[in-house]
Amino acid sequence: MQELSLNVMDIAQNSISAGATLVEISVKEDSATGEMAIVIRDNGRGMTAEQAASVTDPFYTTRTTRKVGLGVPLFKMEAEMTGGSFRIDSKPGTGTTVTAKFVTSHVDMIPLGDIDATIRLLIACNPNLDFVYCRRKNERGFTLDTRELRNALGGEVPLDSPEVQVWIEEYLAEQTQMIKEETSV
């Protein structure tokens, strides 16, 4: 993958396939520790301990179209090759949490990339699911919670309507810019 944000999209897709109604994505960077943590948590059907242990094996997949499943192993490899860590916590009936930690200064660190596009598209293509996106860099951060948007829209306008999409795009761009400005000071 060229960007970690593409992995986020990929892993979130697993949550959607697992029947999640709420997917929480958080990206937190801390310059002091030189660490970036990406967490994807869902309330989907979850996995048994045995399944959770096997998903990092490229030759394990629940898919029937072919015999390999590369999404989780790739994400794990990308974290570990920076000297970071990777873990999956899952419980049947409760959901799954994927946590990947990266050492941002490492030469093998893959850029986060256009995470806003990932979030925007996940919402646009799954207007009936809820997403919480939490972005933090050092002291600054913001949260986008589709449940709040839904509430403001009074359940009358779908999240994938063009006007709402534009609002989400501009909101993410504005908030992301504010985090960057803080960092460059």
Smaller CB separation from other proteins, 49 or 68: 68
Burial of 49 by CB count in 10 Å (0-12 exposed, 13-18 middle, 19+ buried)?
Answer: exposed
- Verify binding: residue 128, other proteins, rule CB under 8 A: no
Query: What is the amino acid identity at position 61?
Result: T
Does 177 help bind other proteins (rule: CB under 8 A)? no
**Count of residues touching other proteins (by CB under 8 A):** 41
Nearest distance from residue 45's CB to other proteins, in Å?
Answer: 16
**The pairing of beta strand 130-137 with beta strand 22-30:** parallel
- Interface of this chain with other proteins, residues 56 to 95, rule: CB under 8 A: 63, 65-66, 69-71, 74
Q: Of 31 and 174, which CB lies nearer to other proteins in the complex structure? A: 174
Q: Specify which residues 102 forms β-bridges with.
A: 36
Buried b (16+ CB within 10 A) or exposed e, 139-148: eebeebebee
Our CA angle for 43, 47, 145, nearest 5°, is 20
Residues 138-167 that bind other proteins (CB under 8 A): 148-149, 152-154, 156-158, 160-167
Q: Could you give the CA distance from residue 79 to residue 100 in angstroms, rounded to a whole number?
A: 6
Residue 58, both tokens? 């490229």
Q: Shortest gap between Cβ of 119 and other proteins (angstroms)?
A: 11
* Residues in the chain, overall count: 185
Question: Which residues are at the interface with other proteins (CB under 8 A)?
Answer: 1, 6, 9-10, 13, 16-17, 63, 65-66, 69-71, 74, 114, 117-118, 120-121, 124-126, 148-149, 152-154, 156-158, 160-167, 170-171, 174
